Amino acid sequence: MSAPGSLKRNIGWTLAGNASYSLAQWGVVIALAQVTTKEAVGVLAYAMAVVGPVSALASLQLRVFMVTTAGRRFEFADFLSLRVGLLLAAYAGLAIYCLAAGVEAQTGWTVAGVAAWRGFDAVAEIHYGRWQSMERMSDVSRALVLNGVLTIAGVALAVFLWRSPVAAALGSAAASLVTAADLTRRHRAQHRGETMRPADLRRVREIAVLSAPLGIVMTLVSLQGNIPRYVIGSALGPAALGVFAAVSQLPSAGANIVTAVATAASPRLVRHHSEGDRAGFWRLMAALVALGLGLGVAGAGLALAAGRPILSVVYGAEYAEYRGLLVALSLASGLSFAGSFLGYGMTMAGEARTQVTLFVAAIAATAASSLWCVPRWGLIGATVALAAGTCIQIGGSVLVLRRATAATASVRGATM
């Protein structure tokens, strides 16, 4: 069993694992764009936009909850049982929706494939949460690398043979299934001979109640990011949605760094806040936000300098004309990265419930902006809408964190 690592070491491991996993997810879109049409990429993008919020709600951000002080009072089996039960219920509801709405066969099967893909990944995340709580990020990284390699191999084969979004989704799902099965095998091997407490319905219900605010917040986050895609699909069609989804993948690569750094820094944010170390909390928080904004600016600069050849090489010559969109999305991503770090800060500070109100406001701003901007300015308008919603989120997050850290510091000072 590996020992906990230092913050820098854990960031390195997390970055390596997340980069491998995210590159593989990006590879799904690249493979589809290279051998099929923009419309096919749009079908996959639509399926991911539909499944995303549903998966977020069912997942309840249990991995994050496992890392917090409250989450460590429960057993691994409790989290796993809750995760599987909620996913099954959520995807059953999604299937009913697709049948009732009369979704086309190809789109419906793509939704099913993406749901399986996200579901197996969600099961794996419970294992990642257990390791993260022990600061064993090297184990998480190795599993993510395995998933990434299997995804690239599975999708490449499936898309080459069948050339459809359904094949891409099912190839990814197969890779995630193998990874989840391997993690289950490793868990059983590590705990062979130990007396493991089985899941208890009372404990499972308590976790659901405590983590529900996190699940609602992440559902709102997913909706905020996907609302422009819904509007694009409705107003501009699947080909435009395919372009937006493909180009968006490039700046979103910075999310690997955001997730890696935030995941590794989360235990320290919790410690700073619980100890009433307001200065330490804000020093770390300011560094994280600056990193997020810097990633966006760096991405925009790269897009300005070499956007056309990058898009042409990655997706094909027909995508080269979207350099301006790539620049705009890079800047919007910088804002999103900063907002993500602030979101981690609020979660670690125990402000999950407050985030619900904040993200409702951000969603309202994103939706209103999308409905107004997309018909007028097309894909650039969708980017403007994303930025507008994120600015609302950032401003509100700073206010919430200032209040939360001031209150904790005051309580700690009064008890000393």
- Over pLDDT 90: what percentage of the chain? 42
Question: Is the pLDDT assigned to residue 197 strictly greater than 80?
Answer: no
Choose the weakest-confidence range: 50-59, 191-200, 394-403.
191-200
389 pLDDT above the threshold of 60: yes
- The rounded mean pLDDT for the chain is 85
For 104-145, what is each residue's pLDDT tens digit?
Answer: 889 999 999 999 999 999 998 888 887 777 666 667 778 888
Dihedral of CA 120/250/144/178: which sign? Answer: positive
Q: Who has greater pLDDT, 6 or 115?
A: 115
The residue written with tokens 């764009």 in the block is: 33
Neighbour-count burial of 69, counting CB atoms closer than 10 A to its CB (0-12 exposed, 13-18 middle, 19+ buried): exposed
- Domain range summary for the chain, segments of one domain joined by +: 7-411
Stated length of the chain: 416
pLDDT above 90 (res 406):
no
* Of the ranges 158-167, 251-260, 390-399, the best mean pLDDT one: 390-399
pLDDT-wise least confident of 90-94, 205-209, 226-230, 374-378 = 205-209
Among 93-97, 211-215, 313-317, the minimum mean pLDDT is found in: 211-215
Residue 71 banded pLDDT, cuts 50, 70, 90: low
Task: Tell me the per-residue pLDDT of 163-188, one tens digit each, with 9 for 90 and over.
Answer: 889 999 999 999 999 988 888 888 77
Alpha carbon separation from 409 to 25, 280, 401, 403 (Å, rounded):
42, 11, 12, 10
Distances (CA, A) of 16 to 12, 256, 260, 261: 6, 9, 8, 11
Mean pLDDT lowest among 156-160, 184-188, 209-213, 246-250:
184-188
Stretch 213-220: mean pLDDT? 82
Neighbours of 320 (CB within 10 A): 16
Q: What is the mean pLDDT of residues 201-219?
A: 85
Q: Which of 160-164, 285-289, 303-307 bottoms out in mean pLDDT, i.e. has the lowest?
A: 160-164
pLDDT value of residue 366: 96
